[in-house]
Structure 1
Amino acid sequence: MKERYWLRVGSGLMAIGLAATLGACGGDSNPMSPSPSNSTATVTITAAGVSPKQISVGINGTVMFINNDSVTRQINSNPFPAHDDCPPINEVGTLAPGQQRATGPLTFQGACGFHEHLSGGAEAFMGVILVNTTNSDTPPSGY
């Protein structure tokens, strides 16, 4: 009789332990990995320059450039003249007055410098997009 009792108690404890183990294994297999962000930010271009000069977006985010100036503007990635640090920025291209266009998805982490190509290298027309990073990261060199 005692053997049966201990057999039932042992079986019950094993069932409880198995249920607890299986319950702990459920859910996301990698809960610490960040999910991709699809944020969008906006940069406005005026006769005074670009604003803001530094913005942040998540991985796969985009930046909308709006030309509120009375002249045509052209947005390109740094460095001049290669424009190859962040190719998705080059999708903005030339903007007529009042026109707006977004970058392509920014699919990698880092700092992406940009400039308004027709301004002749004026500091007011340069900026940086921080992709899934913080202000403490060093932005790329200018124009």
Structure 2
Amino acid sequence: MRPILHVPAGALAALVTLIALAGGSCGGGSSTPSGPTPPTAPPTVTNTITITSAGASPRDIQIAVGTRVLFINDDSRAHNMSSDPHPEHTDCPELNQVGLLAPGQRRETGNLTSPRTCRFHDHDLPSDTRLLGRIIIQ
């Protein structure tokens, strides 16, 4: 028969606590990698103007303040979309970020942050009424 081991109660409690802590830190961790949180995506574009051989469509849109507009060139030729007035392009500089679009290209305006009406045109065809339009920011 084996002798009974006498362990003081405080030592036994410390041993149980140590085992519980060691067991809790082993394995079972999350499989997702840790690291910095990726930056949030820019606001989604909720409005699109498509350019075809028939012109810009729609020619007039209404958007909320802070929204951007996506211009898509589905025409077979390039278009240089700019803010009015021609040739200064100073009314809505955010529209000038669209600039020259080759066939098949798409590009967003900057954030349109103040209520107003922004008129646009094709810089290379400023009098072509099919390529004139308005973005009404409310």
Superposition TM-score tier, normalisation by shorter sequence: 0.5 to 0.7
TM-score, with length taken from structure 1: 0.64
**Partner-residue secondary structure (3-state), 1:89:** helix
CA distance in 1, matches of 2:45, 2:114: 14
| Kept in 1: contact 2:45–2:70 (CA 8 A) | no
Tell me which residue corresponds to 2:135. 129
Tell me which residue corresponds to 2:107. 101
Q: Residue 120 of structure 1: CA displacement?
A: 4.0
TM-score, with length taken from structure 2: 0.66
Check 1:44–1:129 CA distance in 2 against 1; reply closer, same or farther (3 A cut).
same
**Partner-residue secondary structure (3-state), 2:124:** helix
Q: 1:43 aligns with which of 39, 49, 56?
A: 49
| Kept in 2: contact 1:76–1:93 (CA 8 A) | yes
| Kept in 1: contact 2:95–2:120 (CA 8 A) | yes
CA distance in 2, matches of 1:39, 1:130: 15
Does structure 1 residue 61 correspond to structure 2 residue 50? no
Does structure 1 residue 75 correspond to structure 2 residue 81? yes
CA RMSD of aligned residues (A): 1.5
Structure number with bigger Rg = 2
Q: Residue 121 of structure 1: CA displacement?
A: 1.3
Name stretches of at least 5 consecutive residues in structure 2 with no aligned partner: 1-42
**Partner-residue secondary structure (3-state), 1:119:** coil
**Partner-residue secondary structure (3-state), 1:56:** strand
Name stretches of at least 5 consecutive residues in structure 1 with no aligned partner: 1-36, 133-143
**Number of positions where the alignment pairs a residue of Structure 1 with one of Structure 2:** 96
Partner letter of residue 74 of structure 2? N
Q: Where is the helix percentage greater, Structure 1 or Structure 2?
A: 1
Q: Residue 40 of structure 1: CA displacement?
A: 2.5
